Structure 1
């Protein structure tokens, strides 16, 4: 039994209901089922051992998810924003992969030794191909491989087996719970666990999926109105841009009953403005990790409105809510063993059937009792989970993980830089800002904009520091390691 069972159930229960697309020209559950069976047949004949997808979120993703499941091969969506050489390196780590890529990204892979099929070509073949001979998905087999963005080391391939994904669904989503009028707007990327989880949870609930591959606040609001969207999920940066676009006006989206957010820390000022702009919408904060098959804690609509209405409970808006059914959570001390009492901050460990904790080529990192170290710092207070930041030094800017070392390695090459440390600072729009703290070689040096230009010319735009600060020395431990917490404290106090 694998995740293809989800589509089997939906196609059997509501074959003529729209599964995805617009109300006029959408695809029904019966059609999605038939196309995915044809796609599985295509993969059988091509001899794929892995299927890589490089493209934006759209109708091709559900088709690939269920086609690969039925063909018994893992799906590995990659970040289409990565440079060509990094994409090729990740593809080469997979066993006998076939690449399905949108036209806009197929050219980036020129020179690869693996077969490339455009999304349009795969869809055309799947519509006319003979069905696969059988459903080869098995609960203990790998369904998805998602590569982490990496910190100071190479990205790790997180292994999600069919049983992990099914456990998440069965514990958190009610089958066929959506009405025929319900529609969800999907704008999260396909290489993120939230994008994949959206496919499974909405198919299982029987909810029509509407896709927005290129986000802008105006497009998002227009599509919600045009398609009478009832639910959506955004990352904090998206919500910040929507709030800024509204500029104090009401959103005027009467159909939108649920708006979920996650992927990074939500700045409370942004959330409060959003609650005012969407008075008839229930907000949901969903916290999870790739290794946990998506959501492990939820702050629901009633929690949001209750906390917003009561100043004594306002702090709960900064929490991620309560642990979902089927999951357990512990806060442990730095020794990774001692369990801390409620209210104390430490390292978050979680356990449950949906938790993978397994990496391609590296095996499992679960402890002897099945607990997974999230590497997030947090505390549990009155049943609510509060996340206090990453245990490592990763900066999460706009939902994207950024390794400080990547920026430091560029800045240290500047002749005027003696030492440098890159840290994340709290930001209302992006979740975190990138701040480069530089110890210059002398008193005469370029201004901060010149150092930002230096980075911009050598890195992707999202890696350019938002701020550059000059100091006389960096705080270090006796062994020479930079104490980033102290550095952030000093910068924040000075500001």
Structure 2
């Protein structure tokens, strides 16, 4: 079974139900999507392409292209359109004989790469998919038997926040396992609709297409996120489900300014992709009191979500006076069906409840494989996430941050997230990042880079005392540096290595 079968099943079940776009006009039904996919798959085969590359923003063309590539048995690689021309061309060159489909705005940026099978605008490709290719049956089986379920379906470049980007291999079997393990077929009501704001090159952008079309939920897109536009679309399209990265939810909460969201149809807000500041989550829970919140934790190498903190978990923790229960708001929840978690120490030995270590995961949806580099799974199929974590007595998993980010001060391991969680609740601070800097005495010293809310002032001693009053003295920042903004990827991941560079640049400009 390939991912194209997921659409084939949905087309057979939902027929004329709107799959993509607005219900009020211009949307595509499941039958129309299936017809376009059949035409697109025939065109991809005809091109002789060994890969399909997509460079563009979200929109209905992407799901059609994703399933067309799958039906043709050709891997698709959505690229980060925000990269420089040299970076994009370099990534395309790594992908061999590829059919490059790019938004008109990016055609010149990606042109000139030798060895590609063709270059076409997204707009032209999508328009052409509406016309059946000669000899192609629009009602054909979208999951042809000659496509191997263990073949590569999607190639995603890692964000490269801690090392050079690698090409993650997601096979049909990985993605199908993820969908079947997390979503019930035909579980959505006919009026259900999801607003997708995450970009196509993010694993969540792939996952939302597969899970929502499989469940029968209409997909609407907001190509370029802006908080007020997002709120307007949620209201006008009567959106029932959304998926956001934390930085997006921060902007929504700020735009609401403490007022209720007035989104009566919105039943579920899923968030993930980066750590969620506790005070932002609590403000969002207050702004959307009738909406269920879902924290979805996953990685590119795991085909998206592998742990979920569900709506009931959020409500119980938000309402509880028990510190242990309340703390679950900061957890990733529990593993999804079919995925196993194990916390190991540095020697690879599993640790007990509450003990910190590194998170290893195993399951059919876990790839752990990189093109040109091979698999990093151990002999028993476990994948090293490189995320620090611990599990509480009730099985809730707490992610403490990347192992590479751990600060070793005087021989003591300190997770930046522990300090960030405390400083992040200071009423004067809008954002915070903590990292370790070299120190001759302690090995590393703790540096906190903070961003104040507009109009606020604070002193270094005030913030250090605030941390000291809530954590052990060894967790008190040695330095506090005030910045105007912190650097993030477009999908909300903090670029911690760039924070240190910003601090150094600021110190140099002050000293000069």
TM-score band w.r.t. shorter chain? 0.7 to 0.9
Gap change, CA 1:431 and 1:145, over 3 Å in 2: farther
User: How many Å apart are 1:137 and its aligned residue?
Assistant: 3.0
Secondary structure, aligned partner of 2:503: strand
Q: For the residues of structure 1 that align with 2:161 and 2:405, how far apart are their CA atoms?
A: 8
Secondary structure, aligned partner of 2:199: coil
1:118 to 116, 121, 129: 121
1:38 corresponds to 2:39: yes
Q: Report if aligned partners of 1:236, 1:431 keep a CA contact under 8 Å in 2.
A: no
1:368 to 354, 379, 383: 379
For residues 13-412 of structure 1, what are the structure 2 equivalents within 5 Å? 13-24=13-24, 25-113=26-114, 114=116, 115-130=118-133, 131=136, 135=144, 136-151=146-161, 153-312=163-322, 313-335=325-347, 337-381=348-392, 382-393=394-405
Q: For the residues of structure 1 that align with 2:105 and 2:187, how far apart are their CA atoms?
A: 37
User: How many Å apart are 1:437 and its aligned residue?
Assistant: 6.1
Moved more, 124-133 or 373-382: 124-133
Q: Report if aligned partners of 2:405, 2:435 keep a CA contact under 8 Å in 1.
A: no
Q: Report if aligned partners of 2:171, 2:367 keep a CA contact under 8 Å in 1.
A: yes
- The aligned residue for residue 510 of structure 2 is none
Which digits, 9 at most, give the CA deviation of each residue in 1:177-215, with x for residues without a partner? 001100000000100000100000001100000000111
Which digits, 9 at most, give the CA deviation of each residue in 1:385-435, with x for residues without a partner? 00000012499xxxxxxxxxxxxxxxxxxxxxxxxxxx9983759876487
Q: Report if aligned partners of 1:331, 1:379 keep a CA contact under 8 Å in 2.
A: yes
Secondary structure, aligned partner of 1:273: helix
Q: Report if aligned partners of 1:307, 1:316 keep a CA contact under 8 Å in 2.
A: yes
Q: For the residues of structure 2 that align with 1:27 and 1:144, how far apart are their CA atoms?
A: 24
Secondary structure, aligned partner of 1:184: strand
TM-score, scaled to structure 2:
0.79
Q: For the residues of structure 1 that align with 2:71 and 2:430, how far apart are their CA atoms?
A: 39
Q: For the residues of structure 2 that align with 1:230 and 1:342, how far apart are their CA atoms?
A: 37
User: How many Å apart are 1:61 and its aligned residue?
Assistant: 1.1
Secondary structure, aligned partner of 2:404: coil
Secondary structure, aligned partner of 1:128: coil
Q: For the residues of structure 2 that align with 1:234 and 1:298, how far apart are their CA atoms?
A: 14
Q: Report if aligned partners of 2:111, 2:119 keep a CA contact under 8 Å in 1.
A: no
User: How many Å apart are 1:111 and its aligned residue?
Assistant: 2.2
RMSD of the alignment, in Å? Answer: 2.8
Q: Report if aligned partners of 1:74, 1:142 keep a CA contact under 8 Å in 2.
A: yes
Aligned length: 429
Q: Report if aligned partners of 1:37, 1:67 keep a CA contact under 8 Å in 2.
A: yes
Unmatched segments (≥5 aa) in structure 2: 408-415, 440-449, 451-481, 488-493, 508-512
User: How many Å apart are 1:124 and its aligned residue?
Assistant: 2.0
Q: For the residues of structure 2 that align with 1:202 and 1:170, how far apart are their CA atoms?
A: 12
- The aligned residue for residue 503 of structure 2 is 468
TM-score, scaled to structure 1:
0.82
Q: For the residues of structure 2 that align with 1:239 and 1:393, how far apart are their CA atoms?
A: 24
User: How many Å apart are 1:270 and its aligned residue?
Assistant: 0.2
Secondary structure, aligned partner of 1:117: strand
Secondary structure, aligned partner of 1:468: helix
Q: Report if aligned partners of 1:452, 1:465 keep a CA contact under 8 Å in 2.
A: no
Unmatched segments (≥5 aa) in structure 1: 396-422, 440-447, 457-461, 473-495
Q: For the residues of structure 1 that align with 2:165 and 2:434, how far apart are their CA atoms?
A: 21
- The aligned residue for residue 467 of structure 2 is none
Q: For the residues of structure 1 that align with 2:247 and 2:222, how far apart are their CA atoms?
A: 16
Q: For the residues of structure 2 that align with 1:105 and 1:33, how far apart are their CA atoms?
A: 27
User: How many Å apart are 1:81 and its aligned residue?
Assistant: 0.6
Secondary structure, aligned partner of 1:238: helix
Q: For the residues of structure 2 that align with 1:471 and 1:106, how far apart are their CA atoms?
A: 37
Q: For the residues of structure 2 that align with 1:16 and 1:431, how far apart are their CA atoms?
A: 46
